[in-house]
Homo-oligomer: A and B are copies of this chain.
């Protein structure tokens, strides 16, 4: 079991992971590729104290090198869900299930809160993981809304289980879908429900009556990753120790709100790491 799982890949994630290693904890950073950090694209940075006038890519490379030198492990993957098991958390990383004692969310700027109804019906017909929840829709009709081609695998899996699968691609081209999947164009407008259950997906021009809606997203709003996580607007709510409302779950960097700056992210990553380490140590002392 991992001591700490860090979700992200920017400065906050790397600082958190580095500082977990400094305290001798095992840590893996789960994230998209290196170049997905916003910092990668920055032409010049001159306000991270001690490293004047540096390009974003060069700075990010220096950050990675520092983390790797200290034994931080990286895993390029998409995290669809994190579930609390009381004493530890289980992370769904591309459908491999990894256990960790503590979680540090450094997921960056959340691009969307989803469409109206999406959060409200999460777990009541809305899902972000076909492998996890597909069986609940055996013999039923579902829609799959996909921001990228990873949605095709989800849809193909569901096509073997469900009576009908409607595929709404928000990208192109669509590469490989089973024959019994119907493609519909349009932008998702809202999730419609009845009696606490999803009843339809409303598009700009059509409405698809259905029992379930699966979203395959480029980035997940963090509160949909982790059930019950408290947010303030589009930020994860944290205190000065970078604690969220969930036990042994911390957040750092842009996902906790403005200013969206490297020094803030690096500082918060450190604080989150030390808080996580202290909580793990305390839990293990109490277990003895």
**Residues of A near any B CB (own CB < 8 A):** 11, 14-15, 18-19, 22, 46-52, 59, 62-63, 65-67, 69-70, 238, 240, 257, 259, 261, 263-271, 274
A-B residue pairs in contact (CB < 8 Å), sample of 27: A11-B49, A15-B49, A18-B47, A19-B47, A19-B263, A22-B46, A48-B50, A48-B266, A49-B67, A49-B266, A49-B269, A50-B51, A50-B59, A50-B62, A50-B63, A50-B66, A50-B266, A51-B51, A52-B65, A52-B66, A238-B240, A240-B257, A261-B270, A261-B271, A263-B270, A266-B267, A267-B267
Contact in complex: A259, B271 (CB < 8 Å): yes
- Residue numbers in B under 8 Å from A274 (CB-CB): 259, 261
Count identical subunits in the complex. 2
Of all chain B residues, the one with the shortest Cβ separation from A17 is: B49
A277 CB → nearest B CB, Å: 10
Pick from B59, B263, B269: contact of A15, CB below 8 A. Answer: B263
Cα of A63 to Cα of B70 in the assembled complex, Å: 23
Q: Is the interface of A mostly helix, strand, loop or mixed?
A: helix
- Residue numbers in B under 8 Å from A46 (CB-CB): 22, 70
- Residue numbers in B under 8 Å from A265 (CB-CB): 267
User: Told that A22-B46, A263-B270 touch, could you supply 8 new A-B pairs with CB distance under 8 A?
Assistant: A15-B49, A18-B49, A49-B63, A51-B66, A52-B69, A263-B267, A266-B267, A267-B267
Contact in complex: B261, A47 (CB < 8 Å): no
Of all chain B residues, the one with the shortest Cβ separation from A21 is: B47
Cα of A50 to Cα of B48 in the assembled complex, Å: 10
Cα of A69 to Cα of B14 in the assembled complex, Å: 27
- Residue numbers in B under 8 Å from A269 (CB-CB): 49, 263
A67 CB → nearest B CB, Å: 7
Contact in complex: B270, A259 (CB < 8 Å): yes
- Residue numbers in B under 8 Å from A19 (CB-CB): 47, 263
- Residue numbers in B under 8 Å from A268 (CB-CB): 267
- Residue numbers in B under 8 Å from A48 (CB-CB): 50, 266
The 5 A-B pairs at the shortest CB distance, nearest first, are namely A267-B267, A263-B270, A15-B49, A50-B62, A264-B267
Of all chain B residues, the one with the shortest Cβ separation from A65 is: B52
Cα of A271 to Cα of B70 in the assembled complex, Å: 28
Of all chain B residues, the one with the shortest Cβ separation from A270 is: B263
Of all chain B residues, the one with the shortest Cβ separation from A259 is: B274
Cα of A18 to Cα of B18 in the assembled complex, Å: 25
Cα of A135 to Cα of B52 in the assembled complex, Å: 49
- Residue numbers in B under 8 Å from A263 (CB-CB): 15, 19, 266-267, 269-270
